[in-house]
């Protein structure tokens, strides 16, 4: 097909790997085939009870140095946080005074390294937008023993061309070439690992296990006890899931495909309109993906060799315009994939029900206010936990006024004590005096 040739040529000129090109062409083939991109309620059934994280780790010995040497920690670090007014890597956002997400990720890796007495491999999957800022910040850890060269910790995310909707050929925007490209979603992890023989090199160094999570999820801390359980389980792929609440009903959920009883992930973009009510029924579909994954790298390598060098993930097809600021510009498709969807590719893949404290992402200023408050404690090892006064349940924060959309607005709000709060809702501009202690359900409105 002419479009395939043009896509390959464009990506090769940009220096993208064969693995990235094949993954993109697989997505285009899926789109062109006209196959149904939705998963109907009739095709799936709810997931029954799952193994419990706390029970598994309580009954398992911690990993020793030999096992930890075989693990790589991968953090997805491609986001800029533009929705909160940031123009730099989101992981450089301050959480506590003088400490950002990236500092805590490094602390956690160094703690494991110190406890195990061996080097722990850390990789950050940066995007072209976050690479420079991230590597510059990491220079301060050059003498900590985590890496020899700062580039050693970078796994570069690919980019993919936007496609004209009528021909599926790459869009051309002379003078605005940067707008011809879009991010491929975190499902690009597998192509990024395979690119330039990176996956082979990890295996040659004896690394067999990968723990993958988002850099803005401080609850996703590598755990040596779970690593040992994962290694002993023989599972090629394990997804950490947690119980859905009303706040999560629009997010993707885990399900069992009736045809072969395979675990799959269904995102809202894959749900037909008539099934939305069932999709959002949290009593029926109880578990959602935290995006914390444990992957056997040798199993991933074997799988990709058997499937023409790709992990054939379901595509998410976004209809956009070439210039997002100009609704009259060329209509295009932006193709992306989700890395958690790979659970359907591995026979023997498993899921484990984890406590909510392992899912603590920062997507909004409401999330950030909670992390910066006394309801969240972060120690010198980088470990995050809720204050004892929270009794295991994080306060629910809702900053509803438009003035609180951006990070800078939190300085004017102040920093009240939140460790005794169940719900805090703020509908108007407000300021808390230093030392303010809130309790129970608090709603500030006109």
Mean pLDDT throughout 254-282? Answer: 93
Token digits of residue 328: 């009259």
Residues 296 and 389 in one domain: no
Express the helix, strand and coil content of the chain in percent, nearest 5 each: 35, 25, 40
pLDDT score of 357: 87
Nearest alpha carbon to residue 398 among 376, 354, 430:
430
CA distance 168 to 44: 31
Residues 299 and 395 in one domain: no
**Span 124-180, pLDDT tens digits:** 999 989 999 999 999 999 988 888 899 999 999 999 999 999 999 999 999 999 999
| DSSP β-ladder status, 253-257 and 262-266 | antiparallel
* Last residue within a domain, chosen from 335, 358, 381: 358
pLDDT score of 68: 92
Residues 160 and 298 in one domain: yes
Residues 297 and 386 in one domain: no
Mean pLDDT throughout 250-267? Answer: 93
* Last residue within a domain, chosen from 327, 358, 389: 358
Residues 374 and 311 in one domain: no
pLDDT score of 210: 97
Question: Nearest 5 degrees, angle CA 340-CA 344-CA 347?
Answer: 125
CA–chain centroid gap for 372, Å, is: 21
Decide if pLDDT at 37 tops 90: no
pLDDT score of 247: 79
Question: Nearest 5 degrees, angle CA 195-CA 15-CA 24?
Answer: 60
Domain range for 408: 365-444
- Find the CATH number of the domain harbouring 53: 3.90.550.10
Residues 345 and 419 in one domain: no
The band of 220, judged by pLDDT with boundaries at 50, 70 and 90, is: very high
Residues 118 and 201 in one domain: yes
**Span 335-362, pLDDT tens digits:** 999 999 999 999 999 999 999 889 988 8
pLDDT score of 236: 98
Task: Output the pTM of the full model.
Answer: 0.94
Question: Nearest 5 degrees, angle CA 42-CA 47-CA 51?
Answer: 170
* Last residue within a domain, chosen from 311, 338, 358: 358
Residues 153 and 222 in one domain: yes
Q: Among positive and negative, which fits the CA dihedral 306, 237, 40, 270?
A: negative
pLDDT score of 250: 85
Do 135 and 150 meet the contact criterion of CB atoms below 8 Å apart?
A: yes
Question: Nearest 5 degrees, angle CA 406-CA 379-CA 289?
Answer: 60
- Find the CATH number of the domain harbouring 378: 2.160.10.10
Average pLDDT score, the chain: 93
Contacts of 423 (CB under 8 A, 6+ apart): 395, 396, 397, 398, 441, 442, 443
363 is catalytic: yes
CA distance 260 to 339: 21
Domain count, the chain: 2
CA dist list (Å): 387 to 97, 225, 373, 420: 18, 23, 10, 9
Decide if pLDDT at 1 tops 80: no
Please tell me which residue in 75, 363, 419, 445 is annotated as part of the active site. 363
**Span 375-406, pLDDT tens digits:** 999 888 888 889 999 988 889 999 999 999 99
The band of 368, judged by pLDDT with boundaries at 50, 70 and 90, is: very high
Residues 69 and 151 in one domain: yes
**Span 66-103, pLDDT tens digits:** 999 999 999 999 998 887 888 889 999 998 888 999 99
More confident position, 385 or 232: 232
Residues 72 and 147 in one domain: yes
Contacts of 84 (CB under 8 A, 6+ apart): 90, 93, 364, 365, 368, 405, 406, 407
Residues 337 and 382 in one domain: no
- Say which residue the tokens 């920690």 belong to: 73
pLDDT score of 197: 84
Nearest alpha carbon to residue 291 among 213, 177, 386:
213
Query: DSSP class of residue 285?
Result: S
Contacts of 262 (CB under 8 A, 6+ apart): 256, 344, 347, 349
Residues 75 and 173 in one domain: yes
Do 184 and 337 meet the contact criterion of CB atoms below 8 Å apart?
A: yes
Do 63 and 228 meet the contact criterion of CB atoms below 8 Å apart?
A: yes
Do 265 and 339 meet the contact criterion of CB atoms below 8 Å apart?
A: no
């Amino acid at each position: 097909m002419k479009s395939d040739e043009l896509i390959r040529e464009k990506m090769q000129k940009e220096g993208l790997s064969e693995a990235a090109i094949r993954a993109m062409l697989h997505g285009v083939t899926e789109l062109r085939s006209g196959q149904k991109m939705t998963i109907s309620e009739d095709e799936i059934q709810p997931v029954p009870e799952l193994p419990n994280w706390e029970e598994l780790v309580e009954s398992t010995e911690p990993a020793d140095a030999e096992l930890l040497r075989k693990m790589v920690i991968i953090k997805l670090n491609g986001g800029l946080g533009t929705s909160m007014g940031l123009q730099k890597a989101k992981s450089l956002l301050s959480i506590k005074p003088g400490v950002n997400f990236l500092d805590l990720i490094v602390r956690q890796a160094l703690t494991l390294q110190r406890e195990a007495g061996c080097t722990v491999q850390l990789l950050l999957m940066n995007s072209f937008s976050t690479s420079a800022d991230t590597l510059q910040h990491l220079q301060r850890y050059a003498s900590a023993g985590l890496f020899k060269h700062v580039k050693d910790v970078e796994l570069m995310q690919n980019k993919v061309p936007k496609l004209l909707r009528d021909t599926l050929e790459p869009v051309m925007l002379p003078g605005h070439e940067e707008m011809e490209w879009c991010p491929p979603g975190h499902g690009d992890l597998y192509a990024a690992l395979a690119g330039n023989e990176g996956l082979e090199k990890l295996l040659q160094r004896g690394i067999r296990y990968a723990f993958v999570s988002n850099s803005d999820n401080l609850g996703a801390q590598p755990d040596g006890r779970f690593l040992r359980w994962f290694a002993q389980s023989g599972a090629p792929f394990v997804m950490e899931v947690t119980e859905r609440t009303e706040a999560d009903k629009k997010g993707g959920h885990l399900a069992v495909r009736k045809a072969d009883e395979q675990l799959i992930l269904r995102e809202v973009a894959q749900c037909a309109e008539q099934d939305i009510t069932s999709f959002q029924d949290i009593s029926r579909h109880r578990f959602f993906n935290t995006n914390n994954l444990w992957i056997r790298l040798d199993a991933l390598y074997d799988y990709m060799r058997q499937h023409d060098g790709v992990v054939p993930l379901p595509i998410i097809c976004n209809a956009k315009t070439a210039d997002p600021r100009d609704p009259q510009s060329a209509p295009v498709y932006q193709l992306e994939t989700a890395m958690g969807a790979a659970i359907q590719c591995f026979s023997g893949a498993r899921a484990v029900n984890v406590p909510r404290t392992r899912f603590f992402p920062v997507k909004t200023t409401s999330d950030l206010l909670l992390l910066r408050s006394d309801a969240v404690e972060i120690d010198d090892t980088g470990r995050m936990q809720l204050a004892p006064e929270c009794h295991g349940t994080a306060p629910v924060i809702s900053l509803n006024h438009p003035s609180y959309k951006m990070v800078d607005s939190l300085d004017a709000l102040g920093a009240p004590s939140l460790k005794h709060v169940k719900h805090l809702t703020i509908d108007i501009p407000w300021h808390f005096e230093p030392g303010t202690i809130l309790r129970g359900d608090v709603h500030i409105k006109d």
